[in-house]
A and B are shown apart, each in its own frame.
Chain A
Amino acid sequence: MRLLDQLVVSTNYDTEVDFAGYSTYSMSTDTIGFVSNQNPNDTILTQLKSGYPRPVLQRVESNLNDLGYTHVQKNQNPDWRINVYVVNDYNLFQQVVYPSYYYPSYYGYGYGYGSYYAYPYVNTYATNTGSLVVEILDLRNITPDKKVKVIWGAYMGDVYSTIDLVKQSEDAIDQAFVQSPYLGK
């Protein structure tokens, strides 16, 4: 059980981005995405159904605020969109493709979460794994064909075999920001 005391925390970022040049972000406050290859219809986790989303989102928000970024509404032209979701059955720690562009674009999310949370590209499949993913999407530099680039990603697992899911997720989120010293105003 020793290895299950804490989540593995992996972070990737776009080395060409100056993170100090951004100021605002938007994010959900009580809903996170859920991507599963076992149940493709189950695409969101809500606070009403699970006690998991709110503490996780609040921890992401507090870390971003501590770094000097400001949470605004999505209609206030934010610099970033913060994406938080759980991925089932994909082993994200083997992938080397981040940062990457999202398909479909950011503007798809107005039609529901299902269209907003795209499947991330992975090159390794593993069973019975679950990762909590936090991503920063650069809304200031949307491409002409409306693709949004993921400029930072944190992948934390395994969330299915944790001893204390909420506490370990919060600790892992803190660690993700600690090991990303390039973030901050």
Chain B
Amino acid sequence: MKKINLIILFICCCSTAYAQESYLYFDWDVNIPLTNKDWIDNTSARGAKVGFRKFIGADRKFSAGLDFNWAYFDEYKPTETFPQPGGAITTDYFNEIDQFGLTASGQYYFQVGNRQHFFPYAGLGLGANHHDYIVSYNIYTDKESSWGFLARPEAGILIRIGTRRRLGAMAAVHYDYSTSKSVNYDYNNFSSVGFQLGVMLMQW
């Protein structure tokens, strides 16, 4: 009897997993740095987010998934002379930050209308972020790399284009806070606000 119950439970779980609704998204991500803006203040249009999320339960109220993010920030600095002990160095240069990260995230979906086309949501992602803090001058490069904890509250909307189509659009705004530091370039943490827009492939 016990074995029969386990088999029934396993079949139920498989059926649930098979029937689970999900979506995969590819977004363009524009980010505004909020930390140490003397070093880089420019908005980055070079960013992307890719993720996969599965709905939990039958009424599409909650989902959980994985999100991968990448962004590249840079800012040109005109020629400057830096006095050093026993000398000096003169150059123009770029400050750059190359960032990528991975989070596990959960979302709550608000009920709007007949829930056929619009799915606004709020969510939270937790994971890790990697930063390369880079100074490029002429052909030379100085770099400091670090990992940090990443927390990302996010709000957005999924838009289903047609009820019989699996292609949809997605827009979201997110705030990223990560603890990755740079001693040389004076970052105790790195935070940014991002705006993402893209497409999603729906499985429901």
Partners in one complex: yes
Beta-carbon contact of A91 and B140 below 8 Å: yes
CB-CB nearest in chain A for B90: A9
Beta-carbon contact of B140 and A157 below 8 Å: yes
Interface residues on A, range: 20 to 34
- The answer to whether A13 has its CB under 8 Å from any CB of chain B is yes
- CB neighbours (8 Å) of B79 from chain A are 6
Query: Dominant SS at the A interface?
Result: mixed
- CB neighbours (8 Å) of B87 from chain A are 10-13
Tell me the bound Cα distance from A2 to B96 in angstroms.
Answer: 15
CB-CB nearest in chain A for B83: A179
- The residue in B93, B138, B140 that gathers the most chain A C-beta atoms within 10 A of its C-beta is B138
- CB neighbours (8 Å) of B94 from chain A are 3
CB-CB nearest in chain B for A4: B138
Beta-carbon contact of B139 and A161 below 8 Å: yes
CB-CB nearest in chain B for A176: B90
Interface residues on B, range: 10 to 19
CB-CB nearest in chain B for A160: B139
Mask: chain B, 141-171; 1 = CB below 8 Å from A; 0 = not: 0000000000000000000000000000000
- The answer to whether B112 has its CB under 8 Å from any CB of chain A is no
CB-CB nearest in chain B for A130: B139
Tell me the bound Cα distance from A139 to B93 in angstroms.
Answer: 37
Beta-carbon contact of A8 and B91 below 8 Å: yes
- CB neighbours (8 Å) of B88 from chain A are 10-11, 179-180
Beta-carbon contact of A158 and B138 below 8 Å: yes
Residues 67-119 (chain B) with a chain A CB within 8 angstroms: 76, 79, 81, 86-94
CB-CB nearest in chain B for A154: B87
Beta-carbon contact of A158 and B92 below 8 Å: no
- The residue in A3, A6, A179 that gathers the most chain B C-beta atoms within 10 A of its C-beta is A3
Tell me the bound Cα distance from A3 to B94 in angstroms.
Answer: 8
- The answer to whether B62 has its CB under 8 Å from any CB of chain A is no
- The answer to whether B136 has its CB under 8 Å from any CB of chain A is yes
- CB neighbours (8 Å) of B86 from chain A are 12-15
On whether A6 and B140 interact (CB within 8 A), knowing A12-B86, A15-B86, the answer reads no
Tell me the bound Cα distance from A124 to B149 in angstroms.
Answer: 33
Beta-carbon contact of A3 and B138 below 8 Å: yes
- The answer to whether A115 has its CB under 8 Å from any CB of chain B is no
Beta-carbon contact of B76 and A8 below 8 Å: no
Q: A129 to chain B: closest CB distance in Å?
A: 7
Which of A3, A7, A14, A129 contacts B93 (CB under 8 A)?
Answer: A3
Known: A6-B79, A8-B90. 8 other contacts (CB 8 A): A3-B137, A3-B139, A8-B91, A11-B89, A13-B87, A126-B140, A161-B138, A175-B90
Interface CB pairs A-B, < 8 A, 19: A3-B94, A4-B139, A5-B92, A6-B79, A7-B138, A8-B89, A8-B137, A10-B89, A11-B87, A11-B88, A12-B86, A14-B86, A91-B140, A129-B139, A157-B140, A158-B139, A158-B140, A161-B138, A180-B88
Which chain A residues have a beta carbon within 8 Å of chain B's beta carbons? 2-15, 91, 93, 126, 128-129, 157-158, 161, 175, 179-180
